[in-house]
Structure 1
Amino acid sequence: MAEAMFVAQMWEEERKKQQAALTEAAIAKDNEQPNEYLAALENKNVVREAAMQKAQRFTDYKKAVKTKLVSEALKRIYVGSIKNPTPSEISLCEALLGNFIEERGIDNLLEGFKQSNTRFLYMLESSVDKHYNAIMEEVDEENPDTLVIDRDHVREFMDEIEDTEDIDDVTNTIRIRIANAEEDFVNRNEQDKNNINDLLKDTAQRVADARPENDNDYDEAIEGEGGEENPDDPMSGETGGEEINVGEMYDMMHVRRKINSITDRPRSIFDRMVRSVSEAAIKNPELRNQYGDGKGRLDMTKIVESVRCMYGLLEMVNTLKLEKVDAKYIEDTIKSI
């Protein structure tokens, strides 16, 4: 009997040990499950992120191919319309053109080309589509090493563009318009300068002739035109203990009005662009360094060089009818400088 009870106790203890072992194993398994879930979730996120990156890389590549072809064709016209462009002008033209394409969107531009009544743009869209497809045929989306823009394809594309009948005509038209705008700006400002100098010389002579030592009736004549001294006018009579000659005061006001009539004349787009860049350079220290002459003054040669590029882009957009260039478009362009 005692032996039987001993055996029963042994079996019971063994059963409890086995039960405890099973419980510990179950607990351990339960503890492992969250870690396995998190690992699987993390792996799933990594795979999804990699797939998204691959898709975005391919999308960016397709955009880059179209942008490269369009920018090369437009740059051929744009830079070609600048007479003897300097390296800095070429760099600025490339930057301005790049910003223009990015802001408008390459697909929007191409759709506009396709719908355009301008023969060159219609032909350009067709050529871009043809060479874009040729490039994409050699690309393996799964292999990043193939996502390059072959220079031979770009060269073939540009050769095709060069063979079009319109490209030289368009380029020459824009070049002439830029040259005329700049020449008009220079001539009008030179004329303004000469007119102001002549006015100042004439006034100086009139003032000299009106001095008392010349014994003439200049002051009386001026006063007869309505220039009488007004005791209530702080600009007449005595200032700082010195008497102001009525004739000289009249001439000063006359000169000021004449100069204002010269400088306040309607200005060309090129002229307004020059003024906008000049004003921006005065207000902005960074631009002041860029357009300064090192002696505290603005270097007008540098400013006109930049405006030549800005105006050139505007003329290209207008000539090719890339966008509707109306008064509002011009105003917005000048304000953005």
Structure 2
Amino acid sequence: MAMRPRLGITGRIVAVVAVAATLAALLMWWATAQGLSPLYALPVSIGAPLLLALFVSNDIAEPLKEATRAAKAMARGDYSVRVAASTSDEVGQLAEAFNSMAQDLAEVDQLHRDIVANVSHELRTPVAALRARLENMADGVEEPSRENLDAAVRQSEHLTELLQYLLDLSRLDAGVAGLDVREVGVADLLDSAIDVARLAALQNGRGVNFSTHIDPVDLRIHGDPARLMQVLVNVLDNATRHTPDGSTVHVDAGRQRGQARIDISDAGPGIAIEDRERVFGRFQRATPASAPATGGTGIGLAIARWAVAIHGGTIGVVDSDVGATFRILLPIAGPAAGRSRRGAPVRS
């Protein structure tokens, strides 16, 4: 809505006083000319200017009353209210400032809601993996060996790192994100991420296999290990949720046009072309409503895309013969040459 140009509040008050004084003088002159007694002329000459002043003051006060009502609604948690800015004077400027504040508060409120949802989702997978390992040792399925205990300690350390990562989520929407960038071996990252995803799948009763192929085996990337680990865990967890029991999640890593490429393929129903972008939105799923629930909350892939983007990389869904394939491209680190590594399927 275009704002009407008006005098400012001070200008309008001065104008009203001037008009009221002139009107009072004219009415007094007219009443005297008509031969009215001063007892009658004085009320007429004062009453009309007062009515004019009352009308103008209401015009000034009404927008302020509207702002007051809106402020009370915001105090009750309704951040959708807005104040009409129909003038360009001080009242119009106040309305614009109020609306800007309301928008900022709405965004902060949504950010807080998103953080709570992110915390719930991001802690579920590593906690499930740690619980599965400890329960296996308690039930005698696994020996409480030094190796298994060390793995449990590593997972608890990963949880600590993840908590710090979640605290940094507030910086995401502010456009600020600190990265501890270093050279990282893709093989080491994948081994750790697959271990977490495999144990999480066990905890949820999913018998999924993993097959890895890395060429060259010493492929390295530039990035923050903690955030990259979370990317891989999120995508692998998504893959296990859409892979039938007894089937295999395939992981293939290599070079592509000067970047490191990591493909993670499941054996599920696949993702329709029109849904390939939508799955990266928060609280979005590509699984049809008629399909069995996978247990995900629809946040992990959104966080994965953000974490990849701040590394200068990309993530997306590419064509595949079976299931869905997520391709991650990240900046490569130094010369990566050597023999390839192909891992045999590992029963989860």
TM-score by length of structure 2 reads 0.28
Provide the TM-score with structure 1 as the length reference: 0.29
Larger % of strand: which?
2
- Bigger RCO of structures 1 and 2 (CA < 8 A, at least 6 apart): 1
Q: Which has the larger Rg?
A: 1
